[in-house]
Amino acid sequence: MKVQTQKKMDVSQESRLVLVCVDQSGSTLYVVGLDSAGETIMRRTFRLKSFSDWLSRPDLPRLTVAMRACGQREWLKDICWLLGHTPIAIPPSSLTCDSHSSKNKYFEAESIKRASSHLRKSSAPFRSSNAVDLAMLIAVRHVMLEERTALTSRIRVFLLERGLAVPVGEARFTRSLSAILEDDSNTLTPILRMLIRTLQGEIGHLSDVIKGIEVMMGTAERTARAGEQNRRISDGKRMGEESLCELQKEGNSVCGGGDMAAFLGLMHGISGLVPNTSCKA
């Protein structure tokens, strides 16, 4: 069924929405909405702010918001959780787009729609705020290390053209370079000497920034680990409570501590969960 692109929908139509699939394309979001029968009943284009305002409408039912697992998913995830909606992330490997739909601006959203029908297989985990910060710090550190290495290699090439070799290794390179610059008897011209001093200052600045980033990385990593540990404890507590509820329902199915531990997932069953009418709850 072909669905026309709509800028506005009736309240009765929006009340039928169950799942919305979002394609993040920069500051534009292409959204496909589905009802409980899996039929597409909405296609709309949003900006970031307008989509947030639309999700916050009180007359809108609580939705499942499926999105591609890209960098923007963390912002969408936080907005959805804040407004009472359920976000799910679809990894790019699960998205398959039809070749004839390449000119359709909703083709990614349609692909997310198809992948969202297999939520258990397709969904990707969300990252915490500390994990996002840590990933950003790692990326910036990597870029700065590459820039420092490029400057060091360039200085080494400049000096080799003057017949001066600098050893490999950050500490040895720094000592040898300082000694070369302080030696007025070598073949360095004033322009080259001034240029190398400028590059040396840039390398020193990058090294200081990298050290500061590494300190921030340690803080973010410890915070992320603490948050993950608290989440696992919370999930374990919730699973334990659910298991105890099931245990109360089972009644005579568990006999002895070994079977109870196996039922709660703490160890493998010894005798198995075999109904035993001789044991009372």
pLDDT tens digit sequence for 258-272 = 454 454 444 444 444
How far is residue 241 from each of residues 120, 155, 245, 261, measured CA to CA in Å? 23, 64, 6, 14
| Domain co-membership, 38 together with 57 | yes
Residue 143 confidence class, pLDDT cut points 50, 70, 90: very high
Q: Is residue 242 part of a domain?
A: no
Contact between 269 and 259 under an 8 Å Cβ cutoff? The reply is yes
Q: Is residue 261 part of a domain?
A: yes
Contact between 263 and 243 under an 8 Å Cβ cutoff? The reply is yes
Residue 241 confidence class, pLDDT cut points 50, 70, 90: low
| Domain co-membership, 16 together with 70 | yes
Looking only at Cα atoms, what is the longest distance across the chain? 99
| Domain co-membership, 256 together with 188 | no
Residue 280 confidence class, pLDDT cut points 50, 70, 90: very low
Q: Is residue 241 part of a domain?
A: no
- Tell me the whole-structure pTM to 2 decimals: 0.52
- In total, how many domains does the chain have? 3
- What confidence score (pLDDT) does residue 247 get? 47
- What confidence score (pLDDT) does residue 73 get? 73
238 pLDDT more than 70: no
Domain holding 41, by residue range, is 11-122
CA distance 134 to 226: 14
185 pLDDT more than 80: yes
| Domain co-membership, 113 together with 161 | no
**CATH code, domain with 21:** 3.30.420
Q: Which residue would you say has higher pLDDT here, 174 or 128? A: 174
pLDDT tens by residue, 23-75: 887 788 889 888 888 888 888 899 888 888 999 888 888 898 888 877 677 78
Task: Quickly tell me which residue has 């039929």 as its tokens.
Answer: 39
| Domain co-membership, 163 together with 178 | yes
| Domain co-membership, 64 together with 139 | no
| Domain co-membership, 133 together with 113 | no
Q: Which residues contact 43 (CB under 8 A, 6 or more apart)?
A: 3, 4, 5, 6, 30, 31, 32, 33, 106, 109
Q: Give the residue from 61, 21, 14, 74 showing the smallest Cα distance to 41.
A: 14
| Domain co-membership, 135 together with 214 | yes
CA distance 129 to 139: 16
Strands 28-34, 40-47: pairing is: antiparallel
Strands 28-34, 19-25: pairing is: antiparallel
**CATH code, domain with 159:** 1.10.287
- What confidence score (pLDDT) does residue 205 get? 93
| Domain co-membership, 147 together with 117 | no
How far is residue 109 from each of residues 60, 61, 126, measured CA to CA in Å? 20, 20, 19
Query: What percent of the chain lies above the pLDDT cut of 90?
Result: 12
- What confidence score (pLDDT) does residue 58 get? 87
Q: Is residue 245 part of a domain?
A: no
Q: What is the mean pLDDT of the chain?
A: 75
| Domain co-membership, 136 together with 178 | yes
Contact between 234 and 155 under an 8 Å Cβ cutoff? The reply is no
| Domain co-membership, 108 together with 192 | no
Q: Is residue 153 part of a domain?
A: yes
pLDDT tens by residue, 98-134: 544 445 677 777 878 887 776 555 555 666 677 778 8
Residue 92 confidence class, pLDDT cut points 50, 70, 90: confident
Q: Is residue 273 part of a domain?
A: yes
| Domain co-membership, 112 together with 145 | no
- What confidence score (pLDDT) does residue 23 get? 86
Q: How far is CA 3 from the centre of its chain?
A: 33
- What confidence score (pLDDT) does residue 144 get? 93
Span between the terminal Cα atoms of the chain, in Å? 56
- What confidence score (pLDDT) does residue 123 get? 58
Q: Which residue would you say has higher pLDDT here, 38 or 281? A: 38
